[in-house]
Amino acid sequence: MNNFIFSNHDTVELARKYGTPLYVLSEDIITSNAEIMKNAFEKCNIDYEINYAGKAFLTVAMCKIIENAGLSLDVVSGGELYTAIKAGFPMERVCFHGSNKSIAEIEMAFDYKVGKVVADSEYELGVLDRIAEEKKYTPKVMVRVSPGIEAHTHEYVQTGRIDSKFGVPLKLMGKVLSDVCKFSNLNIIGLHCHIGSQIFDEKPFLIAAETMLKLMKGLEENGFEMKQLNLGGGFGIPYLKDDSVFDIDEYVQKLVEFAKDKCRELGLEFPKLLVEPGRFIVGTAGVTLYEIGTVKEIPHTRKYVSVDGGMADNPRPGLYDALYHAVVANKMTFSDEDEELVTVSGRCCETDTLITDVLLPKCEAGDILAVLNTGAYNYSMSSNYNRLPKPAVVLLKGDKDQVIVERETYEDIVSKDRLPNWYK
């Protein structure tokens, strides 16, 4: 077979059947990634919880996959929470996150009795407490800490630095929690931190664990016993052929041994450990299929291969120089002489480069380009820039394929437009 096969499906046939651009997602790969992470924790014989970070990719069908895989769900907005509600996701397994939650969102989270809320600031603890009192409901709350750790990843996705909008600065935690007695309507069960995304080095994760355990001990000495520690997500996945693979098994083992040692040293009871992976669960489970249109060669300069999507369906290259690999799905067998270095351009009215340099077999209009590992932060970050309808999402499971998000139509694009009275 000359075509690119993804999760046992011929991607050229998928492109023909559903049109392009097309997000393709494999349930089998998502489930396998979830299993890898669960097994890593199971082996350590500890109390743990894996919260899938819905921001990476969330639809009603995805909630079902996550529920069946036995994971919990981290949501960061009323929209993500509503998706989980629509899917009938068990609310006790939902953790409500977000750096500036609205009052309406907090009320919604309490009304639906989500399992946990992560408070992002002292101000928010006060708001949560007030709403909890009004609703006569005592939510389980974790407090997000900004641990002051620099992870080796793009600065836009470093979220645990001192200079960060997220979480309570480490140095202020003592003060914030000494005020905790003010928050008598909250059940504060633990601490949270998330140091960044697409991290391959395990060292910053271990430093974060140590920092947080010391903080927990300090707080315990001041009468605030915490039983749960959420170390966030951020586990890197390979985007390019030569990228390394984050060995989750080895990492979890190291983390647990390290944390057990630290707890022993500190005289702290080993807490329940939580993680919040998004990319690790869904990133490798997706590919995006495009049809190639214009191929433009600028002599001695560059060859541009244009596709029928771009920054509207994948803003990551433009946002933080994210790198991707691609293949020509209908030309999987070719000789080295047929290969050429090209730049893959999106169709939007910006530079809109999807991949700066990639070796591809000679491309022609009508070829199908498959950009790999687009499962995370592509559909969820997509926009209607240039009034482009969003692509459909097709889910693969075994030999089955089915649309889980319909392709938008031009009518969808104008459906929320209204003419003011003076033009009617």
Q: Which positions touch ligand PLP (CB under 6 A)?
A: 53, 55-56, 97, 159, 194, 197, 232-235, 276-280, 376
Active-site hit among 44, 181, 349, 363: 349
Q: Which two tokens stand for residue 278?
A: 């998004």
Give the three-class secondary structure for 405. Answer: strand
C-beta of 194: minimal distance to ligand PLP in Å? 4
To 10 degrees, the CA torsion angle through 165, 101, 142, 62? -100
- Cα–Cα distances in Å, from 29 out to 3, 6, 402? 20, 10, 16
How many Cβ atoms sit within 10 Å of the Cβ of residue 59?
A: 19
For residue 191, list its beta bridge partners: 143, 229
Q: How many whole angstroms separate alpha carbon 240 and alpha carbon 243?
A: 5
Asked about 349 being catalytic, the answer comes back as: yes
SS (H, E, C) 351-384: CCEEEEEEEEECCCCCCEEEEECCCCCCHHHCCC
Nearest CB to ligand PLP, comparing residues 89 and 235: 235
Q: Is 169 exposed, middle or buried (0-12, 13-18, 19+ CB in 10 A)?
A: middle
Positions marked active-site? 349
